């Protein structure tokens, strides 16, 4: 379960998040929408302890994020897989080596690496790409590997910041199908997106942030309050 209570974050004089409270239950699929600069990435960074809230409380599973010391971050990483907008890889390491580096950082015993990597890459249908360098992958394939990396620690929650950005419609649909499969297997998914057609096509709970504030929490989904019923993809 994820819970934010009256969370506020300011960058100097600029609001990142303003008095935001929300609760997300285990196994939910939730979209986070809102205009550029609304505060979506800040929301994720606060959850991932990459930024600190000025006030309020944040809970991910049984972890109180704002009370977590730097050396305890690994506990949060067990709960939360993170796919960011600009995910970085080591350019001179293969896909497999990149994932191994991550497992090493997560302090996963080495005898488990092979199976973890195999399972994570299989879940994003990238099992054949282990020996490729990042530059030898398409943007869509890189995004899939980034998702595989987030899944390495088999976290109960995955947060993804615009995972379909810069993908063509076919690749975006493929990516969404992967997320839905992960969700159906029990993982909670929280996804920030500007892809209005996708949000309107595949309806799920939708949180809308505007000017750093949560302005809508809609169980029926829809990119905006006035979502156009015709603005959908055909599957
Ligand atoms: N490190 C930072 N320093 C100062 N201001 C920041 C910083 N990070 C974000 N902001 C500001 O906080 C506000 C929220 O930004 P955020 O990146 O969370 O928006 P967003 O909804 O993710 O936007 P986008 O859809 O373009 O990614 C914006 O006004 C932004 O300029």
Per residue in 113-142, pLDDT (tens digit) is: 999 999 999 999 999 999 999 999 998 899
Residue 105's pLDDT is 87
The pTM of this model reads 0.91
Please report which confidence band the pLDDT of residue 228 belongs to, taking 50, 70 and 90 as the band edges.
low
Residue 220's pLDDT is 77
The residue whose CA is least distant from atom 11 of ligand 1 is: 16
List, chain by chain if needed, residues with CB within 6 Å of any ligand 1 atom: 11, 14, 16, 34, 36-42
The residue whose CA is least distant from atom 12 of ligand 1 is: 16
Cα of 4 vs centre of ligand 1, distance in Å, is: 19
Find out whether 116 and 108 touch, Cβ atoms under 8 Å: yes
Cα of 93 vs centre of ligand 1, distance in Å, is: 31
Q: Which of 126, 125, 192 is nearest to 158 (CA)?
A: 192
The residue whose CA is least distant from atom 26 of ligand 1 is: 36
What is the share, in percent, of the chain residues with pLDDT greater than 70? 97
The residue whose CA is least distant from atom 6 of ligand 1 is: 11
Query: Which of the listed residues 7, 8, 14, 48 should we mutate to test ligand 1's pocket, taking the one with most ligand atoms within 8 A of CB?
Result: 14
Task: Give the chain's domains with CATH numbers.
Answer: 2-89+155-218 (3.40.50.300)
Which atom from ligand 1 is nearest to the alpha carbon of 17?
14
The residue whose CA is least distant from atom 27 of ligand 1 is: 36
The residue whose CA is least distant from atom 4 of ligand 1 is: 11
Cα of 68 vs centre of ligand 1, distance in Å, is: 23
Over residues 40-59, the mean pLDDT reads: 95
Residue 67's pLDDT is 87
Cα of 192 vs centre of ligand 1, distance in Å, is: 13
């Amino acid at each position: 379960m994820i819970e934010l209570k009256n969370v506020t974050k300011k960058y100097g004089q600029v609001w990142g998040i303003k008095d935001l409270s929300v609760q997300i239950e285990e196994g939910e699929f939730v979209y986070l929408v809102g205009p550029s600069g609304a505060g979506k990435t800040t929301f994720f960074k606060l959850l991932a302890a990459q930024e600190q809230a000025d006030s309020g409380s944040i809970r991910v599973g049984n972890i109180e994020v704002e009370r977590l010391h730097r050396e305890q971050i690994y506990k949060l990483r067990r709960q939360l897989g993170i796919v960011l907008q600009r995910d970085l890889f080591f350019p001179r390491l293969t896909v497999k080596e990149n994932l191994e580096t991550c497992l090493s950082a997560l302090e996963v015993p080495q005898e488990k690496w092979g199976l973890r990597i195999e399972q994570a890459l299989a879940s994003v249908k990238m099992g054949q790409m282990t020996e490729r360098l990042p530059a030898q992958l398409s943007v869509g394939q890189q995004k899939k590997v980034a998702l595989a990396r987030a899944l390495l620690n088999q976290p109960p929650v995955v947060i993804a910041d615009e995972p379909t950005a810069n993908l063509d419609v076919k690749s975006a649909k493929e990516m969404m199908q992967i997320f839905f499969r992960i969700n159906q297997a029990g993982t909670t998914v929280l996804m920030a997106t500007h892809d209005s057609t996708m949000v309107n096509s595949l309806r799920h709970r939708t949180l809308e942030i505007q000017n750093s504030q949560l302005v809508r929490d809609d169980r029926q989904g829809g990119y905006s309050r006035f979502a156009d019923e015709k603005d959908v993809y055909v599957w």
